[in-house]
Amino acid sequence: MLSLTMAAEIHSRPQTARPILLNKIEGHSDAVNAAVLIPKEDGVITVSEDRTIRVWLKRDSGQYWPSIYHTVSSPCSCMSYHHDSRRIFIGQDNGAVVEFLISEDFNKMNHVKTYPAHQNRVSDMVFSLESEWVVSTGHDKSVSWMCTQSGSMLGRHYFTAWASCLQYDHDTQHAFVGDYSGQITLLKLEKQTYSTITTLKGHEGSIATLWWDPVQRLLFSGASDHSVIMWDIGGRKGRTLLLQGHHDRVQAIRYLQLTRQLVSCSADGGMAVWNMDTQREEAPQWLDSDSCQKCEQPFFWNIKQMWDTKTMGLRQHHCRKCGNAVCGKCSSKRTTFPIMGFEFPVRVCDACFDTIKEEDRTPLATFHEGKHNIAHMDMDPSRGLMVTCGSDRIVKIWDVTQVVGCSLATGFSSR
């Protein structure tokens, strides 16, 4: 049995700048839905669909072994771990949130409370020590906030779709909630009440992950449309940046404020490191037209112009650089345009293609392979570590000092 739950140490050496796989932790019998690195410890906490919560500590052999193996009544869907108080909150498939207290030596875990947070699966959760609240989202289409001192429900707000992910500003008590309709709702939470501030719309698929940076007041979202969007909340001008470089659902993101880098991971194992410390441009809104805005040929629904000119209607496309509605003949070229977030070739009109210089195609992101499904990711920038997990039941620990935070190498201890 022990051989199934031990973790193999990987002895790989870098060839180029890329994440280095340090360890693989195996032993779960179902999908691992979340994994977090324990700060200042060689340890990882995992929660799984197999109903277990496990604390893995690195032994002298270099392998990770479970020091805590706790089984609960329902599959574990998410968690929120507060290291200073060693309190951990587990979201479950049955809608409950369970709080435990982990001992100082990470060898024991005691049950504290069970919160009846949702009527269906808990999708995400944040514990706020400042307000003593646990805020959570669920597949019952709601966000709830509960008092961790009394265990009572303080408030709940319902959406029109499954609430899928959550970020929370501890200072202002604002909650960002992403849902399956592709919207992000900003709420101001208070005891017994709340107010809806705004709704952010930009994704064409369900929101899978959010990250809030309270220093620069930037919100990042990843979605099933394979894209990442940066929302400049603090700028108050509605500025957004579109980042496209993934080929599958973006399921985990993390912004590194010190180095101005964004790390994103997708379901196919793709890892992207985006340079956000550079001048970027907003992608244009797509324009509507009944005919090509270059050659003026009618699109196929423009019956009147087709009849008047005795021509066949054409299919409408859009130039990613200028946003004009164009036909296929007038947009036959493809190019990358990283300054607008397009890291792989996209359609542009012939006129825009001619304006793009070779230096405009210089990548502003690097891409790497995690080689497993990534459903969740956590990072410890101070040590240059990242942990990924997913449906393949494997947890991977990475040294990412080569690809992030190169300018802060003195702040990292390479493992």
Asked if the structure places residue 412 within a domain, the reply is no
Whether residue 199 lies inside any domain: the answer is yes
Distances in whole angstroms, Cα of residue 212 to Cα of each of 23, 34, 234: 29, 18, 11
DSSP-based helix, strand, coil % in the chain, nearest 5? 10, 50, 45
Q: Are strands 153-158 and 163-169 parallel, antiparallel or unpaired?
A: unpaired
Q: Are residues 216 and 331 in the same domain?
A: no
Q: From CA 52, how far away is CA 123, in angstroms rounded?
A: 17
Q: Give the residue ranges of DSSP H helices in 210-345.
A: 303-309
3-state secondary structure of 407: helix
- Same domain? For 392 and 356 the reply is no
Q: How far apart are CA 331 and CA 344, in angstroms?
A: 16
Quick one: 243 and 345 in the same domain? no
Q: Are residues 387 and 251 in the same domain?
A: yes
Q: Is residue 98 part of a domain?
A: yes
Q: Is residue 297 part of a domain?
A: no
Q: Which two tokens stand for residue 321?
A: 């650089």
- Pair (51, 95) in one structural domain: yes
Asked if residue 156 belongs to a domain, the reply is yes
Is the domain of 177 the same as that of 324? no
> For every one of its 415 residues, what pLDDT tens digit does the chain have, with 9 covering 90 and above?
333 344 544 433 334 689 999 999 999 999 999 999 999 999 999 999 999 999 999 999 999 999 999 999 999 999 999 999 999 999 999 999 999 999 999 999 999 999 999 999 999 999 999 999 999 999 999 999 999 999 999 999 999 999 999 999 999 999 999 999 999 999 999 988 999 999 999 999 999 999 999 999 999 999 999 999 999 998 777 789 999 999 999 999 999 999 999 999 999 999 999 999 988 988 888 898 988 988 988 887 878 777 888 888 778 899 999 989 999 999 999 999 999 999 999 999 999 999 999 988 999 999 999 999 999 999 999 999 999 999 999 999 999 998 886 433 333 333 2
Instruction: Please report whether residue 395 resides in a domain.
Output: yes
Same domain, 331 and 272: no
For residues 33 and 47, the answer to whether their CB atoms sit within 8 Å is yes
- Clarify whether residues 197 and 326 are in a common domain: no
Count of domains observed in the chain: 2
Cα(50)–Cα(36) distance, integer angstroms: 17
Residue 393 is encoded by which pair of tokens? 């039941």
Nearest C-alpha neighbor of 132 from the set 107, 149, 144: 149
Return d(Cα 330, Cα 324) in angstroms, integer.
Answer: 11
Residues 6+ positions from 207 with CB-CB distance below 8 Å: 164, 165, 178, 179, 180, 182, 183, 184, 221, 222, 223
Backbone angles phi, psi at 269, to 5 degrees: 95, 0
- What's the rounded Cα separation, in Å, for the pair 136 and 71? 21
Q: Give the residues across from 379 on adjacent strands.
A: 386
Q: Which CATH number is 330's domain given?
A: 3.30.40.10
The model's pTM:
0.88
User: Of how many residues is the chain composed?
Assistant: 415
CB neighbours of residue 195 within 10 Å: 10
CATH of the domain at 251: 2.130.10.10
341 vs 111: CA distance, rounded Å: 46
Measured over the CA atoms of residue 42, residue 47, residue 48 and residue 50, the dihedral's sign is positive
Q: Is residue 175 part of a domain?
A: yes
Within 8 A by CB and 6+ apart from 11, the residues are none
Are 36 and 162 part of one and the same domain? yes
Element holding 274 (H helix, E strand): strand 270-275
Q: Is the CB of residue 220 less than 8 Å from the CB of residue 211?
A: yes
Tell whether the torsion through CA atoms of 206, 208, 214 and 219 is positive or negative: negative
Same domain, 357 and 373: no
With 0-12 CB in 10 A as exposed, 13-18 as middle and 19+ as buried, what is 102? buried
Residue 68: name the closest of 53, 47, 87 by CA.
53
**In-domain check, residue 5:** no
Residue 354 shares a structural domain with residue 367 = no
* Residue 323, domain extent: 303-361
Instruction: Say if residue 56 is in the same domain as residue 137.
Output: yes
